[in-house]
Amino acid sequence: MNKPINKYIDHTLLKAFATSDDIRKLCSEAKEYHFMSVCVNPSNVKLASSLLANSDVLVCTVIGFPLGANTIETKVFETKDAVCNGAKEIDMVINVGKAKEHDYDYIEKEIKAVVDAANGNLVKVIIETCYLTDEEKKEVCLAATRAKADFVKTSTGFGTGGATCHDVEIMKANISDDMKVKASGGIKTLDDCKKLIASGASRIGASSGVAIMNDYLNEGEKNK
């Protein structure tokens, strides 16, 4: 790791039943531990942005989530609305069905549309690796590269599987040098984070950020 673990973590709460109080707690934890961002559903972006104003924590949201089956026009509208409400990072889900059809021109087109709509804010492309073959993962990463996305991301956390070191390695090998990989889905422990970072991940999406940080701080105490 080339930075403290907290600066890898997008502290995440995307459950359908998350309340405003849950978002306040998430943001309070993020400020306490100085996480890289909070990742929340679009309806919570405005609240999170107000809570995190003048802090070092960014607000990230999800677009076309969790299935990715929205139209391009809908994803564009969602993105513009999220940016207007204060989102600084956009995690968009690709149209997985189009990827399974090997329609990579469509994938590139929708990513490019979201990148343009994000108006300079960072875009991460969720490819939902659990549904793709290794060759499909490669081709989607190449499409994301052509569309000038900033990151590719493994998973929504709502599919049949989450982040693996194998997938991170494939993704890292098939993006440009100025792009990065976000690992997400099923990441619960500090050990999980270390393995994924060693495989090439530059960002970790996790709802267990506080537990991971406690393990990290305890490890630091033991190594003194």
Amino acid at site 34: H
100 is known as an active-site residue:
no
177 is known as an active-site residue:
no
Q: Which of 10, 75, 88, 91 is catalytic?
A: 91
65 and 84 in contact (C-beta within 8 Å)? no
Q: Which of 98, 137, 180, 182 is catalytic?
A: 182
Which of 33, 87, 94 has the alpha carbon at shortest distance from 60?
87
Q: Which of 98, 124, 137, 153 is catalytic?
A: 153
166, two tokens = 């194998």
DSSP string computed for 114-176: HHHHHTTSEEEEE--GGGS-HHHHHHHHHHHHHTT-SEEE---SSSS----HHHHHHHHHTS-
91 is known as an active-site residue:
yes
What stretch of H or E contains 173? helix 165-173
Which residues neighbour 47 within 8 Å (Cβ) at sequence distance 6 or greater?
20, 23, 24
Q: Which residue has the tokens 């707690």?
A: 25
Across-strand partners of 12?
A: 39
Question: How many beta carbons lie within 10 A of that of residue 86, not counting itself?
Answer: 17
Q: Which residue has the tokens 């998430």?
A: 26
The residues carrying an active-site annotation are 91, 153, 182
